[in-house]
Amino acid sequence: MQDKYFSFEIEKVCPVTGARAGIFHTPHGDIKTPVFMPVGTQATVKGLRPTDLDEMGAQIILSNTYHLFLRPGHEIVKEAGGLHKFMDYNKPILTDSGGFQVFSLSDLRKVSPDGVEFRSHLSGEKFMMTPELCMEVQEALDSDINMALDQCTEAGVTREEAEKARELTKIWLKKCYEAHHNKEHVLFPIIQGNMFKDLRAKCIEDCIPYARCGIAIGGLSVGEEKEVMYDILDFMQPKLPENMPRYLMGVGSPDCLIEGFARGIDMMDCVLPTRIARNGTAFSKYGKMVIKNSSYKEDFTPIEDDCDCYACKHFTRAYIRHLINAGEMLGAELLSIHNLRFLIRLAEKSREAILGGYFPEFKNDFLSNYKI
């Protein structure tokens, strides 16, 4: 997909799975795909500096429109020169529309074709997030990738509810597109439809006319079994545009990362790696490790022997366990560094395997060792 500011080139496709290796060209740098994107909801990846992100190989991060709209306010960020200057991060930034956050406020919101009326989770103050305002806020934030306002639904809703959400998402997408004027930003439409395949197919058709150089899949990992998510992705894979990045939103456990890449997904993100880090848990190639447990009290080995992250190169399980149990901030920071590097490296290895022609073997080997 060629564009003055954004373009996507596919370097290789796995003939067995459809996994893709590519390069997404953006105004703030190239992104080698597949890629895992750390989440910096409030204009920061919790506890980490931009230099930490650079050292772990992060190529792009996320921030959130809803949260930054409420605090400090998009006008403040604009006055600071945009998110890149505000947070001193010079690589690509994607901003979520806030649709998922508003979805989470089910008791505090009301949806209509005009937008979403909601009450702030901070102050209780009432706001109306329209598609036009959503674009205005993201324009002020000056993020590279802007997400369209969408309505997400949880697993288990009725077909009627899912269809209403899909129709609202379609109406809002058209309004977002018409209000999106900055060509140095790219708008990603979001495919909804819950677990109903025909609604997913309809929503793909709704989104394609508005997809300039990127399309997203929302409304998965919302309570359904992983096998259901994989089945929906399998159904959508041949229907998605081939010439632009495909972004699976809010999905990021190691097994889901591999399974997503195997279904042609190029970009993924999740708060999981930093969230479990704050609870004293680490990713490993064999599954999650609860480092705060007593079994690691006298374990003077790294979290993983073959990990190249700062935490594993300098500290032991015993030390990190001590920090977590003593309530020291550094413990959560070190585990966050490890967990993010683990997923970034998993994406890097997946890319190498696709380019090298051995992705199916790599996938099977990883999943056979990783215990959920």
Task: Note whether 122 and 70 are within 8 A (CB).
Answer: yes
96 is catalytic: yes
| Active-site position among 52, 96, 144, 266 | 96
Give residue for tokens 């959400």: 165
**Half-sphere exposure (Cβ direction) of 309: Cα atoms closer than 13 Å:** 29
Q: Rounded to whole angstroms, how far apart are CA atoms 369 and 361? A: 13
User: Active-site residue 206, yes or no?
Assistant: no
Q: Among all chains, which residue has been given the structure tokens 């290789």?
A: 12
Q: pLDDT digit string (tens) for 72-113?
A: 999 999 999 999 999 999 999 999 998 777 777 767 688 999
Q: Where in the chain is the domain with CATH 3.20.20.105?
A: 7-270
pLDDT of the chain along its 372 residues, tens only?
458 899 999 999 999 999 999 999 999 999 999 999 999 999 999 999 999 999 999 999 999 999 999 999 999 999 999 999 999 999 999 999 987 777 777 676 889 999 999 888 899 899 999 999 999 999 999 999 999 999 999 999 999 999 999 999 999 999 999 999 999 999 999 999 999 999 999 999 999 999 999 999 999 999 999 999 999 999 999 999 999 999 999 999 999 999 999 999 999 999 999 999 999 999 999 999 999 999 999 999 999 999 999 999 999 999 999 999 999 999 999 999 999 999 999 999 999 999 999 999 999 999 999 998
Rounded Cα distance, 246 and 195, in Å: 18
- Backbone angles phi and psi of 62, in degrees to 5: -110, 150
What is the DSSP-derived secondary structure letter of residue 287? B
pLDDT, tens digit, 9 for 90 and up, residues 162-198? 999 999 999 999 999 999 999 999 999 999 999 999 9
- Determine what percent of the chain falls in helix, strand and coil, rounding each to the nearest 5: 45, 20, 40
Q: What is the CATH class of 7-270?
A: alpha beta
Give the active site residue among 52, 142, 206, 269. Answer: 269
Per-residue model confidence as pLDDT tens digits over 46-72 = 999 999 999 999 999 999 999 999 999
Q: Which two tokens stand for residue 70?
A: 């409420």
How far, in Å, are 57, 61, 156, 177 from residue 116 at the CA level?
37, 26, 22, 17
pTM: 0.97
The rounded distance, in Å, linking the Cα atoms of 160 and 110 is: 17
